[in-house]
């Protein structure tokens, strides 16, 4: 009995000591409780106040960073990471899907700067339950997407890990000199647009989490799961917006438009008014309960559509140019004077303030 109680007492005292060290009492495996409570606050804390390299045009704070070259274009570079059990499970994405998505989310950030992708580098931490065949499939997922953009894989890193698969992809791209499209470019009076319907990825994820990717899905359900597994980065759309040679703000939707609209509003120091009745509704989500659908559309994330703003005078020209390329674009709101707020215009109840909600590592 004593031999059981003694170690237990020691364990409890040790937990209390750690709890005191961390300023609170918790029973977690790690030494201290996770101290990051908001992803975006944390990024702001580590953001350098100045930089050494004068050819850096945009550092931390947009979808990707941009630096100047002596050529007629500026260079774009960005990195995003996918972690098993956070961004995917073996039951939600196949190895091929993981490769596709890890590259697609980065190409999407290049598109969100108005540019096109050029090179990619891949860093993988591989646990022992992942086979060589699975890793080959993952790389096939990347190369088949890269092919369409003529992107080259130019480097990376491979390490072992004891736990979950981690894949980190760096993508470089280019944009015509001085023509990058930034979150801070919106001005009052602008039209807010989105390149496609929202919420399909979140609906697809819900299906995959419930049933697993090898289950039987109807054709409608399959379109939702594919939206989650194989998002198409909107490079063509970004290039049309860029070709207009006008001021415009742009952001890609990874966390949910509720979050990204705030990012534009905050960076531009304006407010954004979204019109609920103008948000395009995917045909696949027509039959879904309205409240659930709105939650997925505003806060679900991972649609990788582009949300942005253009001058009211440029709207006709832009929507014509998109139509000519067979691409879609929807007017969903307007930019107003403000201080980073986002409002949703309801059909009946007037304006409601949207929280900066969406996917937030450490909060959700
Ligand atoms: N750990 C980090 N160290 C340095 N910069 C970071 C870190 N995490 C994020 N950032 C930067 O913060 C900004 C916002 O990141 P994020 O919200 O992930 O953008 P996105 O949704 O477009 O991928 C970007 O400029 C990104 O490069
Ligand atoms: C198994 C699983 N659970 C939850 C999600 C939902 N999810 C995970 S990360 C994320 C947001 C996008 O990822 P993030 O790392 O924030 O990309 P970034 O904003 O940096 O582009 C969402 C909606 C998922 N894709 N898979
Ligand atoms: Mg982004
Ligand atoms: Mg990111
Ligand atoms: Mg995010």
**Do 201 and 349 sit in the same domain of this protein?**
yes
Nearest to 260 by CA among 304, 222, 291, 217: 304
Are 256 and 298 part of one and the same domain?
yes
Full domain range(s) for residue 107: 55-176
Residue with tokens 């990717």: 213
Could you give the CA distance from residue 117 to residue 106 in angstroms, rounded to a whole number? 9
220 in a labelled binding site: no
The answer on 139 and 189 residing in a single domain is no
Report how far residue 76's alpha carbon sits from residue 117's, in angstroms, rounded to the nearest whole number. Answer: 8
Provide the CATH number for the domain around residue 138.
3.30.1330.10
213 belongs to an annotated ligand binding site: no
Q: Is 21 in the pocket of ligand 1 (CB under 6 A)?
A: no
The dihedral formed by the CA atoms of 284, 289, 290 and 296, expressed in degrees to the nearest 10: -60
Tell me the best of 359, 362, 363, 364 to mutate to test the pocket of ligand 2, counting ligand atoms within 8 Å of each CB and taking the most. Answer: 359
Q: Specify the CATH number for the domain of residue 327.
A: 3.90.650.10
Whole-number CA gyration radius for the chain: 22
- Across the beta sheet with 166-176, the strand order is 56-58, 65-67, 73-83, 166-176, 116-126, 152-160
| 9 within domain boundaries | no
Q: How far apart are CA 301 and CA 193, in angstroms?
A: 17
Atom 11 in ligand 2: which residue has the minimum CA distance? Answer: 255
- Residue of the nearest CA to atom 25 in ligand 2? 87
Boundary (domain end) residue, out of 176, 198, 213 = 176
- Are residues 217 and 153 located together in one domain of the fold? no
Last residue of a domain, one of 176, 208, 223: 176
Give the per-residue pLDDT at 2: 46
Q: Which ligand is nearest to the CA of 302?
A: 2
Residues with CB under 6 A from ligand 2: 80, 86-89, 92, 105, 205, 254-255, 301-302, 359
Average pLDDT for runs of 10 along the chain of length 364: 45 40 35 66 81 87 92 96 98 98 98 97 94 94 95 91 97 97 98 98 98 98 98 98 95 98 98 98 98 98 98 98 98 98 92 94 82
161 and 70 within one domain? yes
Shortest CA distance to 168 belongs to which of 233, 102, 109? 102
CA 316 to ligand 5 center in whole angstroms = 32
Q: What is the pLDDT of residue 364?
A: 63
Q: Are 63 and 43 in contact (CB under 8 A)?
A: no
Say if residue 209 is in the same domain as residue 166.
Answer: no
86 and 232 both lie in a single domain: no
Boundary-marking domain end, from 132, 156, 176: 176
Q: Are 177 and 81 in contact (CB under 8 A)?
A: no
């Amino acid at each position: 009995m004593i031999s059981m109680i003694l170690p237990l007492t020691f364990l409890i005292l040790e937990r209390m000591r750690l709890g005191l060290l961390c300023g609170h009492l918790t029973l977690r495996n790690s030494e201290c409780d996770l101290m990051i409570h908001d992803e975006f606050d944390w990024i702001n804390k580590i953001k350098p106040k100045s930089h050494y390299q004068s050819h850096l045009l945009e550092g931390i704070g947009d979808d990707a960073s941009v630096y100047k070259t002596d050529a007629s274009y500026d260079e774009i570079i960005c990195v995003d990471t996918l972690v098993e059990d956070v961004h995917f499970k073996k039951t939600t994405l196949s190895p091929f899907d993981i490769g596709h998505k890890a590259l697609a989310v980065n190409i999407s950030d290049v598109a969100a700067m108005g540019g096109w992708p050029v090179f990619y580098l891949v860093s993988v931490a591989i646990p022992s339950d992942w086979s060589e065949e699975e890793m080959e499939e993952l790389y096939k997922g990347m190369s088949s997407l890269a092919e369409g953009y003529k992107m080259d894989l130019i480097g990376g890193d491979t390490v072992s890990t004891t736990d979950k698969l981690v894949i980190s992809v760096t993508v470089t791209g280019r944009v015509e000199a001085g023509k990058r499209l930034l979150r801070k470019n919106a001005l009052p009076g602008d039209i807010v647009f989105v390149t496609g319907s929202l919420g399909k990825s979140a609906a697809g994820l819900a299906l995959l989490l419930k049933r697993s990717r090898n289950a039987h899905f109807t054709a409608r359900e399959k379109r939702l799961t594919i939206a989650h597994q194989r998002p198409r980065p909107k490079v063509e759309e970004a290039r049309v917006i860029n070709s207009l040679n006008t001021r415009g703000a742009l952001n890609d939707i990874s966390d949910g438009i509720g979050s990204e609209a705030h990012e534009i509003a905050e960076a531009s120091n304006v407010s954004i008014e979204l019109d609920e009745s103008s948000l395009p509704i995917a045909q696949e989500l027509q039959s879904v309960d309205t409240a659930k659908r709105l939650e997925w559309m505003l806060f679900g994330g991972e649609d990788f559509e582009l949300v942005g703003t253009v001058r009211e005078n440029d709207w006709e020209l832009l929507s014509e140019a998109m139509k000519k390329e067979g691409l879609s674009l929807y007017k969903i709101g307007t930019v107003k004077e403000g201080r980073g707020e986002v409002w949703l215009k309801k059909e009946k109840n007037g304006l409601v303030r949207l929280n900066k909600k969406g996917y937030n590592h450490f909060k959700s």
